[in-house]
Chain A
Amino acid sequence: MRFNLEQREKSRQIESRDKRVVHFIFNTGLPTKVSPFARKYAKFLDGSLAEFEAAEKEKFAAYAQRLASEELDDGE
């Protein structure tokens, strides 16, 4: 009997009147992280993926160049 109660403990949690387990807090006030895939996917949806990829490539190459030649501003 005790074994059964223990086994059902997890399913009983969701029926509890005074206990809830919260796994996520969605509004943390911090900027949302975005995966590299999600950035591309958003552009794929609005049909501007090719332009976005070309612009990103150019921006990244310029950034890497400035990093190598020590031209980056503080915090950049």
Chain B
Amino acid sequence: MPFFHCDVTGGLNRLAFSTADDPFYKTSESKYYPEAVVFNSKGEVLARVNPDTRNSADYHMAYLDDVRDNVLKINDDRKIQISFNQIKEAGCMILLTVKQFDPKDGRQIGTEGEFHRAGLRRAKAETNQTLDYCMLKKVELPEDYQELIADEEDDAKPAFRNSLTYIAGALFLDDSGASPNWIFESYKNVFQAKDFKDPGNDVVSAIGALYARATSEYAEQQKVLADASNALKKSQEEKK
């Protein structure tokens, strides 16, 4: 996993998480879009920002289309701006994903090879300085991946679109230190829709459940360790 973990410091208050269908040209159609999902420490979804829900006033996020700018050298098509310094809910996580538009008529988007340079980017919103970048074609696809999966029982049924969800990374508000600080982790993995076909089961809810378990287990472990070391101190004092 091309993983990295870093504290978000140095006056960084506003992030732009963006996608480009092609950084050099405007493509004939739009294929990829960014999505940000905010979870609380229980893994519940507090907010979700994407082309359908463009704003979250509570979590200071906004989705923007058509953001190319020649002067600032912004070669992205869509982005989500996150003013994370205004989010104060301890233990919350913002998951950054890239998804594909799903055409209603079941056709393939664009032409062959049109999206070979598609990428995702995380940048400082004020200056457009790139902090993390990845071309989507470099993210390893599952071995059995097929874009369209025909229905084996009924040929007349339209093929199932096995759309991809890229997990770019996550921002965490870590409150374990003296003062809360934001942490970013970069993952860059991909999940296919066919693995989450059951109703109520999707990538985001699976990750939310995983986050809830990780958070509660970690808190429980910290409590056990604190109790054990207190008991140890007490017994050492008694011995003296």
Contacts and interface: CB of A to CB of B under 8 A. Distances in A.
Interface of A: 10-11, 13-14, 21, 23-24, 26, 32-42, 44-45, 49, 53, 60, 64, 67-68, 70
7 contacts: A11-B128, A24-B10, A35-B185, A36-B214, A37-B215, A68-B231, A70-B232
A40 to B, nearest CB: 5
B131 interface: yes
A13 B121 CA distance: 19
B129 A34 contact: no
A23 B12 contact: yes
Interface string B104-127: 000000000000000000001011
Contacts, number: 84
B126 A10 contact: yes
Contacts of B71: 11
A36 B187 contact: no
Interface size class of B (residues with CB under 8 A): 35 or more
B87 interface: no
A66 to B, nearest CB: 9
Contacts of A42: 1, 3
Nearest to A60: B221
Contacts of B72: 11, 14
Given A14-B73, A67-B229, A23 B126 contact: no
Nearest to B93: A37
A33 B10 CA distance: 19
Interface in B145-180: 170, 172, 174
B57 interface: no
A45 B124 CA distance: 29
A1 B173 CA distance: 40
B137 interface: no
Given A13-B127, A32-B5, A35-B183, A64 B225 contact: yes
